[in-house]
């Protein structure tokens, strides 16, 4: 096959491309330039799309003996991933930019261009497995569950899964990948992994949001509606957050308080005890389903964070909505997060969390101006 290998400049994508070459594919490497200011330098493992990353990708291509190109996708990245990140936080939701990047950039813009140029598939360094099942290709967790990235890939859809290669899905550990890179003479073998949000290189998400959305002072209230603090923008808070609240007074019982809801229309943040964070019913929208559709599944697990715990659940599909009833409560589920459904290691589908509640709790999950609270809404 003619394969386009996405080379980020890191060790995973380089080894994935090398394995595609070993498999006999006709491989071309491409580096996606996603930042509008790529002259910046990486700070350790923070940031991406820097001049060092592009240079590292080129050197890897040279070692592998494959053609190499740089594609400027910064406009698409800004208009989809970054714009979605800002609008979701502004609306009181908690987005996952890696999910959006996989949806709009790596398996939309990149794959669509690749197919238009006559390539058969795109190869990436994601840790996930593709299994040929009786009804077609299936997306499964990686062998190394610590590095598994199936959660952020679930949004790609069945058609794009057919055109994807994940050569690292079967490796037992990242150490094996680094050792293989060193044996192949790839200079990125010891390069640190990138983490956090790639376009917030300093790790200050709230500062990034403030620079784009401006300061919007407002109140922090407790579950009774009493004012307990202030903020510079409700968009900078997410359900389940404990640190950085800057409350003026502690809870009456001295227990920690967490963000239990945000109200963007009133520019208000609601805090409360940990008990208000537990939910056992989650509703999702914008469903992407990778398996055969059925109205109800009772033998599945669901996951709401990239490396979070998967909990047993039953799920019901109703058009573009999904309802997951959890066998045990989860804490801090926020609107905007990605809800991924698994059958064992297989990814069945994905949805964006619309609301979450504790079934039977008074006022639980009451919607406030389009944003779902994790627990009881404040009175007054």
Point out the residues that are catalytic.
101, 198
Unique residue bearing structure tokens 């990242």: 174
Maximum Cα interatomic distance, the chain, rounded to a whole number of Å: 67
Q: Is 300 helix (H, G, I), strand (E, B) or coil?
A: strand
User: Please, what sign has the CA dihedral across residues 287, 288, 292, 298?
Assistant: negative
Element (H, E) at 235: none
Rg (CA), the chain: 22
Angle between helices 11-22 and 51-64 (to 10 degrees): 20
Q: By the 8 A CB rule, do 260 and 270 touch?
A: yes
Residue 272: closest CA among 234, 225, 222, 309: 222
Q: By the 8 A CB rule, do 271 and 245 touch?
A: yes
Within 13 Å, how many C-alpha atoms sit on residue 130's CB side?
A: 20
Q: By the 8 A CB rule, do 256 and 274 touch?
A: yes
Element (H, E) at 317: strand 311-318
């Amino acid at each position: 096959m003619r394969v386009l290998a996405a080379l980020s400049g890191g060790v995973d994508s380089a080894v994935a491309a090398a394995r595609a070459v070993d498999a006999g594919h006709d491989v071309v490497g491409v580096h996606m330039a996603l930042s509008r200011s790529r002259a910046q330098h990486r700070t350790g493992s923070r940031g991406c799309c820097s001049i060092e990353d592009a240079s590292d990708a080129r050197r890897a291509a040279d070692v592998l003996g494959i053609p190499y190109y740089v594609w400027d996708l910064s406009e698409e990245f800004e208009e989809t991933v970054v714009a979605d990140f800002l609008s979701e936080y502004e609306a009181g939701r908690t987005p996952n930019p890696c999910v959006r990047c996989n949806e709009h950039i790596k398996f939309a813009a990149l794959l669509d261009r690749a197919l238009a140029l006559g390539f058969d598939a795109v190869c990436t360094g994601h840790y996930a497995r593709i299994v040929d099942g009786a009804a077609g290709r299936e997306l499964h967790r990686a062998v190394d569950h610590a590095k598994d990235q199936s959660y952020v890939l679930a949004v790609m859809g069945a058609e794009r899964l057919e055109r994807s290669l994940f050569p690292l899905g079967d490796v037992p550990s990242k150490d094996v990948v680094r050792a293989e890179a060193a044996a192949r003479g790839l200079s990125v073998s010891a390069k640190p992994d990138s983490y956090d949000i790639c376009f917030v290189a300093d790790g200050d998400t709230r500062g990034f949001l403030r620079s784009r959305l401006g300061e919007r002072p407002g109140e922090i209230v407790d579950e009774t509606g009493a004012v307990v603090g202030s903020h510079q923008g409700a968009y900078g808070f997410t359900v389940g957050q404990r640190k950085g609240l800057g409350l003026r007074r502690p809870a009456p019982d001295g227990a920690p308080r967490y963000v239990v809801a945000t109200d963007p229309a009133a520019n208000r943040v609601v805090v409360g005890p940990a008990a208000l964070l537990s939910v056992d019913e989650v509703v999702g929208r914008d469903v992407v389903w990778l398996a055969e559709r059925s109205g109800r599944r009772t033998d599945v697990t669901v996951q709401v964070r990239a490396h979070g715990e998967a909990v047993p659940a039953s799920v019901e599909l109703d058009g573009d909505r999904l309802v997951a009833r959890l066998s045990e409560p989860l804490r801090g589920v926020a609107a905007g997060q990605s809800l991924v459904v698994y059958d064992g290691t297989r990814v069945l589908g994905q949805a964006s969390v619309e609301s979450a509640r504790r079934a039977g709790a008074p006022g639980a999950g009451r919607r406030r101006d389009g944003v779902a609270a994790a627990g009881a809404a404040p009175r007054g």
